[in-house]
Structures are given as C-alpha cells and as structure tokens.
A and B are shown apart, each in its own frame.
Chain A
C-alpha cells in the first residue's frame, strides 16, 4: 500500500463503491412517494370528420378536433430526486372494434426549476386525434386524463395520474368542410 499506483487504485475503487451506494440510497429515498396532484381538465366543441387513414390501408377513420383546457400545479410532485416530468393528456375510450383505446392529445416536458404551473386554455390537440376505425360517432364516454412520467436523477421511472378527469361526448354527425 505504498506505491502511487496502489493508492490511486484503492481511491478509485472506493470512490466507485461510495458513488454506487449513494446512488442506490437516492433511488430508495423516493420510491414510495405517490407523485399525484389535482388537475382540472375540460374540453369543448368536439367536431368529427371522417378521413382516409394512411395507417389502415386506405380505409377511413374518424378524426376529432376539439378545444382543450388544462390546469394543473405539479410542484408537489417535484422532490430532490426528480429531474423532469413528462406530462401527457390521454383520451381513453372503448369501442366496438377495440376494447381499449388510448390516444395522446398533448404533452409537455417540465424540467426541474422550470415553471410548474400548467395553464392551457382553448388549445387544439398537439397531435392528431385519429381513431382506429369509425367508432367515435355519438360516442358518449371518451375520458380525458392527465398523466405524467417522473424521470428521476437516478432510480425508478414512476408513472402517476392527476386527480381529475373529463368525459367528452362526441357529436352525432360529421362536419363537412374544413375543421
């Protein structure tokens, strides 16, 4: 234990062990937190069109346009082991063709130290809301929920859902012309 190399080797090995132990403790310190927060979601003016869907071999699918309002304060979700929140609004519904459908309409990334209050009013969906098929006409039970993925500094990638949802009722006819 007297040469420079053996000392450097020992220090290096010890540093690695301590770093791994601290990373593991960092992971353990936040795994059981609930990560939820209350949210307020609403949507209005849903409009339906039937358009050719290139992702289903040329047959037509329902496309929805609507006006979204999202309000949430996620500052309680940020703890010392959170690097980022990936927040996304999901439309969940069940149809005759597919018993479960989930479509992401909007998403946002919030990093540590950024503004954690979300206020979106009357925004259109960020991604096209296309159904797999033609089963949204008169659908009375499309549920909008806000979920997020907690990206830690090190540890478990947790998922959580905001407390609050909104049920959209689709119109009974298609519109003609443009959205």
Chain B
C-alpha cells in the first residue's frame, strides 16, 4: 500500500466517524434532547420495555408533563437515568409529578433524593416517544464485558483501515 492508499483509508475512516457524529448531533437538535437515544437497562417497565430495548426521546418544554407520559429523569446527585411512568401531576406555577415503574409495586419516592417527594421539569432528560426492540442489547453486552467492547472496536478499526475497495 502506498502513501496515497493509506491516506485514502484514513479519510474513509474519518468520514465514517464524522457521519456518525453528525447523525447523533442532528438527532439531538431534532428532538431537543441531550440524549435522544437511551437503552433500557432494568426490568422496571416490563413487559413494555425489556432490558436491551431502545427508546427515542424528545424534549419539548411547551408540551406539559401529564399522567401516563414515560419520562426519563435523573435524580440530583445520581447520574443514572431512570425510565418510569408519571402517575400523579399537581400543577401550580410549575409542574410537580410522581413516577412509578410499571413493574414496580411502589412509587419512586424511595429513589428520589432525601427530602424530595416530587419531580419537576428540571429533572427530566426527555420523554419516550419511540421504541425499537432488542437493538440495544449490543450496548449492554459491551458494557457488561469491556474486553468485548475493545475487541469489537479494534476489529472494526482494523477492517476499515485495511479494506481495499
């Protein structure tokens, strides 16, 4: 392989990486949400969402939070997003709501910060509007087995650089 081919392969690689980044950022703009695609990690919303399903989120602050919405929220101090359904709403100047996972016997107050009994819009990352089954299992496998992740990424990088088409 001469220098030109090497350069071409590197450009190819850069194109793939930057296209992926463009799609991701584009999705962030379209949905208005900083994390538009999340993988379901727990079984707390079964049988609707199983571990490994993908949720597409939107964040529209002009569409108020209402009972039944599936919200993805983060508790102050913890950075794991939780995907649960809103079961109570009381709205004054702002909206206060309570969530519960479909498969959980009790509401989420045990998960909130100490002294916090309600969630507000600032805790919400987005609302689930779209659903794709199973595809997120790859992410879960890679998170549970970091060696697998490095092997897959390494092989992918190798193939893109070496492939001669």
- Nearest B-chain residue to A84, judged by Cβ: B48
Please determine whether A84 and B47 come into contact, CB atoms closer than 8 angstroms. Answer: yes
A19 CB → nearest B CB, Å:
9
A97 partner, pick from B69, B70, B92, beta carbons under 8 A: B92
Residue in chain A with minimal CB distance to B88: A103
For B153, list chain A residues within 8 Å (CB): none
- Bound complex: CA of A41 vs CA of B130, how far in Å? 30
B87 within 8 A of A: yes
* Number of CB contacts from chain A to chain B under 8 A: 76
Decide if B90 touches A132 in the complex (CB within 8 Å): yes
A149 near B47 (CB under 8 angstroms)?
A: no
In contact, B67 and A88 (Cβ under 8 angstroms): yes
For residue A152, which residues in chain B have a CB less than 8 angstroms away from its CB? 131
Q: Which of A99, A103, A132, A147: most chain B Cβ within 10 A? A: A132
Interface string of B135-162 (1 = CB under 8 A from A): 0000000000000000000000000000
Contact call A151/B131, Cβ cutoff below 8 A: yes
B-side contacts of A154, CB under 8 Å: 131-133
Q: A147 vs B91: C-alpha distance in the bound complex, in angstroms?
A: 19
Contact of B102 among A98, A101, A109, A155 (CB under 8 A): A109
- Residue among A88, A98, A102, A159 with the highest chain B CB neighbour number at 10 A: A102
0/1 per residue, B19-58, Cβ < 8 Å to A?
Answer: 0000000000000000000000000000111000000000
Residue of B nearest to A100 (CB): B91
- Bound-state CA distance A97–B96 (Å) is 13
> A101 touches which one: B68, B90, B118, B133 (CB < 8 A)?
B90
A157 near B70 (CB under 8 angstroms)? yes
Q: Is the CB of B47 within 8 A of A111?
A: yes
CA distance A110 to B6 in the complex (A): 57
* Distance (whole angstroms) from the CB of A132 to the closest CB of chain B: 4
CB pairs A–B below 8 angstroms (20 shown):
A23-B132, A54-B117, A88-B87, A99-B91, A100-B89, A101-B90, A102-B67, A102-B88, A103-B87, A104-B67, A104-B68, A104-B87, A127-B87, A132-B90, A132-B96, A147-B68, A151-B131, A154-B131, A154-B133, A159-B69
Hey, which bits of chain A sit against chain B, CB under 8 A? 23, 27, 54-56, 83-84, 86, 88, 90, 97-104, 107, 109, 111, 127, 132, 147, 149, 151-157, 159
Q: Which 3 pairs across A and B sit closest by C-beta, in order of nearness?
A: A55-B117, A100-B91, A102-B67
